[in-house]
Chains A and B, each alone.
Chain A
Amino acid sequence: MAQSRTLAFLASLGRRVAQRFMESVLSLQEYMLLSWRGLVAVSTPPHYAREIVAQMDSLGVGSLSIVILTGMFTGMVLTLQSAASLDAFGARPYVGRLVCVSMVRELGPVLTALMVTGRVGSGMAAELGSMVVTQQIDALRVLGSDPVRKLVAPRLLAGIVMVPILTVISDTLGIFGGSLIGIFNLKLSWEFFWRSVGNALTINDLVMGLVKPVVFGFILSSVGCHMGLRTTGGTQGVGTSTTRSVVVASVLILSSDFFMTKLLLVLFPVT
Chain B
Amino acid sequence: MGDPEPTGFFEAAPEAMARDADEPLVWFGDVHLAYDRPILKGVSFTLRPGTTKVVLGGSGSGKTTILRLILGLLKPDAGTIVVDGTDVGVLGEEEMRDVRLKIGMVFQEGALFDSLTVGENVGYRLSEEGEMEEEEIEARVREMLGFVGLATHYEKMPSDLSGGQKRRVAFARALVARPQIMLYDEPTTGLDPITATTITDLICKVRDLDGVSSILVTHQLRDAFNVARTFMIKKDDEYVTSVVDDIATLEGTEFMMLREGQVLFEGSPYELQTSTDPYIREFLS
Which listed segment binds A: B2-10, B101-109, B241-249, B265-273? B101-109
Across the two chains, which residue of chain A brings its CB closest to B98? Answer: A144
Q: How far is the CA of A139 from the CA of B73 in the complex (A)?
A: 10
A138 touches B111 (CB 8 A): yes
Q: How far is the CA of A144 from the CA of B101 in the complex (A)?
A: 8
B125 touches A139 (CB 8 A): no
How would residues 125 to 158 of chain A score, 1 for a CB under 8 Å from any chain B CB and 0 otherwise?
Answer: 0000010001110111111111000000000000
Q: Which of B100, B109, B128 contacts A134 (CB 8 A)?
A: B109
A142 touches B100 (CB 8 A): yes
A139 touches B103 (CB 8 A): no
Count of chain A residues near B, Cβ 8 A: 13
Q: How far is the CA of A130 from the CA of B112 in the complex (A)?
A: 12
B103 touches A144 (CB 8 A): no
B73 touches A146 (CB 8 A): no
Across the two chains, which residue of chain B brings its CB closest to A54? Answer: B115
B128 touches A142 (CB 8 A): no
Tell me the smallest distance from the CB of A27 to a CB of chain B, in Å: 16
Tell me the smallest distance from the CB of B266 to a CB of chain A, in Å: 26
B101 touches A139 (CB 8 A): no
B124 interface residue (CB < 8 Å to A): yes
How would residues 211 to 253 of chain A score, 1 for a CB under 8 Å from any chain B CB and 0 otherwise?
Answer: 0000000000000000000000000000000000000000000
B107 touches A135 (CB 8 A): yes
B19 interface residue (CB < 8 Å to A): no
B31 interface residue (CB < 8 Å to A): no
A139 touches B93 (CB 8 A): no
Chain B residues lying within 8 Å of A141, measured Cβ to Cβ, are 71, 73, 93, 100
Q: How far is the CA of A142 from the CA of B125 in the complex (A)?
A: 9
B281 interface residue (CB < 8 Å to A): no
A145 touches B128 (CB 8 A): yes
> 20 new A-B pairs (CB below 8 Å) besides A130-B114, A135-B107?
A134-B109, A135-B109, A136-B112, A136-B113, A138-B111, A139-B107, A139-B112, A139-B113, A140-B113, A141-B71, A141-B100, A142-B100, A142-B103, A142-B105, A143-B128, A144-B97, A144-B101, A144-B125, A144-B129, A145-B128
Q: Across chains A and B, which 8 residue pairs bring their CB atoms closest together, nearest first?
A: A135-B111, A139-B111, A143-B125, A135-B107, A144-B128, A142-B105, A136-B111, A144-B97
A residues at B contact (CB < 8 Å)? 130, 134-136, 138-146
Q: Can you name 14 A-B pairs with beta carbons within 8 Å?
A: A135-B107, A136-B112, A136-B114, A138-B71, A138-B107, A139-B105, A141-B100, A143-B124, A144-B97, A144-B101, A144-B125, A145-B124, A145-B128, A146-B93
